[in-house]
Amino acid sequence: MTAFIEAAEPHVMTTYGRVPIALERGQGCRLWDVNGKEYLDALGGIAVNTLGHNHPKLVPALQEQIATLIHCSNYYYVPGQEKLAALLTERAQMDKAFFCSTGLEANEAAIKLARKYGVDKGITNPVIVVYDHAFHGRSLGTMSATANPKVREGFGPLLDGFVRIAANDIEALKQATEGNPNIVGVMMEPIQGEGGLHPMRAEYMQQVRALCDANDWLMILDEVQSGMGRTGKWFAHQWAGIVPDVMSLAKGLGSGVPVGALLAHGKAAEVLKPGNHGTTFGGNPLSMRAGIETIRIMEEDGLLAHTTQVGAHLKAKLKQELAEVAGVVDVRGEGLIIGIELNKPCGVLLGRGAEAGLLFSVTADTVVRLVPPLIMTEVEADEVVAKLKPLILQFLSE
């Protein structure tokens, strides 16, 4: 493996601190590296591989599409765009969709839409409310909306037009926006993935929805990580019984094929006009087929109910096994997006997990993040706990 890693390094920018393994193939919730070592996948490509690896229903559909048409320009109509847009907007109770390739692009589009919404109303300096612990991407726009200093610093001046507040505090939102005529929207993640698996409370989301309605602001939800069934509902905000004005999606939407989407509702659906925004790769026939087939298979196989069941089982098992462990601060999440917060930075666990044959991630320095494929079984969930618990115990004893 060392020889392979050394051979792989010379021409690739060092933008990642990688775990020193190279994966070669996958099946279900299992992966194998170039040396044949097996891993249980509790990361799912960071909440991307909704249907796991080499899914028997997805692969033939994508092979068929590759043999038919992979890409064409948005100069022309792409029938799959309307089909996928209808599937998404029906499930979200929204109206229209714009397709791109990544979550960053979807969030960038959301920011542009909100700013244009304000400018169209005569606001020359539109401002969007964002949150502590938020992560929306690494472009200059989405980076400016992101809270993490490690992401933001070192690139010179960021984009103006954001006000940052604490989550789950409606009074903080009211105070931060009082008397400011430039506010155009409130942008939040229902569950802050990169920020440490912090959920927005249902009551708080309902309060924000009401405040946006009262002030003619857009409620913008970043569901890039929490959407597409990850919590047991199509979109995490549906646990609060609300409908946003704007919603970004990506990650699990294409089960590994890059697909991003921006959904809009009501007045927000009419803001962007021809020439206001665009993309070369977004909405091409292959990515649309991936999104369509992902939704079809999820419904055929009952993956929303399955995710709720297996996620509850996994979280309960983790709570039970880690309840008396000093140094475990919290186990939280919904469905199959679960975080285990420890009382000290635990990035070293990534490599140790790989050595033990378990793949997961660490976010916000101290939170072990589990976002496995939605096809994971309870037996496999038990295996995750069996592999993870001794790693945590050993780490906390050091």
**Which sequence positions are flagged as catalytic?**
135, 222, 251
| Whether 106 contacts 249, CB under 8 Å | yes
| Whether 203 contacts 237, CB under 8 Å | no
| Nearest partner of 248 among 231, 228, 229, 233, judged by Cα | 228
Longest dimension (CA), the chain: 62
Length of the chain: 398
Q: Which long-range contacts (CB under 8 A, 24 or more apart) does 319-322 make?
A: 321/385, 321/389, 322/389, 322/392
| Nearest partner of 187 among 232, 123, 134, judged by Cα | 134
CA torsion, ordered 378, 260, 266, 162, to nearest 10 deg: 100
Count other Cβ atoms within 10 Å, centred on residue 256: 22
Q: Which helix (H) or strand (E) holds 322?
A: helix 303-322
